[in-house]
Structure 1
Amino acid sequence: MCGRYLFDPMTGELDEYWKIIRNVAEKQNLYEVDEVATGDVYPSNNVIILGANKEGQVVPGVTKWGFTGFKKGQLFINARSESVEEKKTFGKHFRERRIVFPMNGFYEWNSDKKKFLFTDHKEVIYVAGFYRMHENVAESIIMTTEPNSIVSPIHDRMPLIIDKNDIDKWVLDLDFARDYLKHDMDKFENMSVKSA
C-alpha cells in the first residue's frame, strides 16, 4: 500500500510539471501554488498528476489524493489493480479517467514500522491511478499491485508503475490499461531502496 510519496519539484521532469501548474494556478486562480504538495506527499494533499485534457492530450493537472469515503473522515487512497473494475466505487472511474502520478519515489513500511524510500535511477517514477469528480473536487487514487523482488522483503503491495513510454497509452487507451493491470513489476527491479 502506498501511503506516502516524494515529489521534489527541483528534479528533472518534475520541475517542468511544477512550472506548468504554477503558471496555470496564477492565471486561473483555481488554487494557491503553495496548496500543491511538494516534498513528502500525504493523502488528502493536492497533488500534481498527468491526465487527459478535453483535446485528448496528456497534460499536468492537480487532484486531491484520496476519494472521500462514506463515513466521516474516511479516505480511500489506493485501489488494488487486480479487482479495480469489480469495485463499484472504482470501476467506472478507472475506465473513464485514468491518470499518472509523477514522483521521485514512494515510501513503504515494514512490519516493524520502519520507513523505506523506493526510487529509480531515472529520477522520476510514474504511478498508475484514476480520478473522479466529487462535489466539484477532483479526487484521485493510486493503484497498487503485487510487489517485485525489491519491495517484497519490506511490504506485500507496491504502486503499479507505468513505464514513461506508456503514459499516453495508459491514460488514453482502456484496452491497453486493462492489459497493463496484469503486468508484474519485475521490469522495475533496478529500483533502489533506503531507510527514510
Structure 2
Amino acid sequence: MCGRYFVDDVVFSEIEKIVPAICADIQKQQAGDIYPSRKALVLTGKGQGLSVEEMLWGFPGYYQKGLLINARAETVLERKTFRDSVLHRRCIIPAGHFYEWDSGKNKATFLRKDGTVLYMAGCYRRFENEDRFVIITTQANDSVSRVHDRMPLILEKDELEAWLYDDHFLNFALNKTPAELEKRQEYEQLSLF
C-alpha cells in the first residue's frame, strides 16, 4: 500500500525535463509530503505527448465514504471501479520517495538506489468535474517486504510512454516485479532470535 509520498525540487526539475511546457501554476507546486485527498502533479498522455496536470489523490469511496487511494495490480482489470480507468486513463505519479510503516508503526522511507525519481503507475477518473488518481500497488519485492506486503508499481524511466500509450505493455507492467529500492529507517526493532 502507498499512503504517503514525497516530492521536492529534484522531482520538479525532472518533470520539467520530461514535459518542458509546464504552466506557471504547476511550477508553484509546493515540495513536501503528499497525502491522500491532496492535489499532486501527475503525468498523463492526454493530447500529443506527455503532459503534466494537478489531480486530487483518491477516488471517492463507496457510498461517498472515505477514499480509495490504491488499486491492486492483480485485480485492477477485474474491479469495476478501476477497469475503465486503467484501460483508458493511465497516469504516472513522480516522487522522490514513498513511505511505509512496519507492524510496530515505525516509518520507513523507500527510494531508488541511484537516487533518481520514482515513477509510480496509476490511473485516473473524473468525479464531479475534477480528475482524481489512484496509485497502483503490487506485491512487495524483497527490499520492501520486511516492512509491508504491498508497494507501488514502479516504472522505469524508459517505460513511461509505454505505460501511457501501449495497451500490450499494460499486462506486462501489471505483472512485473519492481526494481529493488533502498530503505531508510530511523528506528528498527532488532530481534535476538
1:39 offset after TM fit, Å?
Answer: 0.6
What residue identity is the alignment partner of 2:5?
Y
Task: Write the distance in 2 (CA, Å) between the matches of 1:62 and 1:22.
Answer: 14
The answer to whether structure 1 residue 98 and structure 2 residue 90 are counterparts is yes
Could you tell me the TM-score, scaled by structure 2's length?
Answer: 0.87
Structure 1 counterpart of 2:161? 168
Counterpart contact for 1:98–1:171, Cα < 8 Å: yes
Give the 3-state SS of the residue equivalent to 1:94 in structure 2.
helix
Residues 60-107 of structure 1: per-residue CA shift (max 9 Å, x gap): 211111001233441000000000010000000000000110000110
Give the equivalent residue in structure 1 for 2:74.
Answer: 82
Identity of aligned residues (%): 37
Pairwise CA distance, 1:138: 0.5
Change (3 A) 1:127 1:33: same
Partner secondary structure for residue 99 of structure 2: strand
**Structure 1 residue aligned with 2:191:** none
Q: TM-score, normalised by structure 1?
A: 0.86
In structure 2, how many angstroms separate the alpha carbons of the residues matched to 1:23 and 1:159?
Answer: 26
Hey, what's the Cα distance between the residues in 2 that align with 1:21 and 1:3?
29
Q: Kindly provide the CA deviation profile for residues 102-147 of structure 1, in whole angstroms up to 9, marking residues without a partner as x.
A: 0001100000111010011232010000000111101000000011
Q: Is the aligned partner of 1:54 residue 2:74?
A: no
Q: How does 1:11-90 map to 2 (within 5 A)?
A: 11=10, 13-17=11-15, 24-26=23-25, 36=29, 38-55=31-48, 57-90=49-82
Worse overlay, 67-76 or 91-100 = 67-76
> For 2:93 and 2:36, how far apart are their aligned partners in 1?
13
Corresponding residue number in structure 2 for 1:29: none
Gaps of 5+ in 1: 27-31
Aligned AA (1:15): S
Change (3 A) 1:18 1:43: farther
Matched letter for residue 126 of structure 1: Y
| Residue 192 in structure 1 maps to residue 182 in structure 2 | yes
**Structure 2 portions without partners, runs of 5+:** 187-193
Q: Secondary structure at the match of 1:49?
A: strand
Distance 1:33 1:167, change over 3 A: closer
The within-5 A match list for 1:147-186 is 147-185=140-178
Matched residue SS, 2:63:
coil
Q: Amino acid of the residue matched to residue 15 of structure 2?
A: Y
Given the superposition, is the C-alpha separation of residues 37 and 130 from structure 1 closer, same or farther in structure 2, using an over 3 Å criterion? farther
Distance of 2:115 and 2:33 partners within structure 1:
19
Q: 5 Å matches for 1:90-169? A: 90-120=82-112, 121-169=114-162
Question: For the aligned residues, what is the CA RMSD?
Answer: 2.1
Q: Is the deviation greater in 121-130 or in 95-104?
A: 121-130
Cα deviation 1:136-191 (Å, max 9, x = unaligned): 10100000001111100000000000010000000111121122111112xx11x2
What letter is aligned with 1:82? E
Count how many residue pairs are aligned between Structure 1 and Structure 2: 184
CA-to-aligned-CA distance 1:36-57 (integer Å, 9 cap, x gap):
45311100111001111222x1
Amino acid at match of 2:23: V
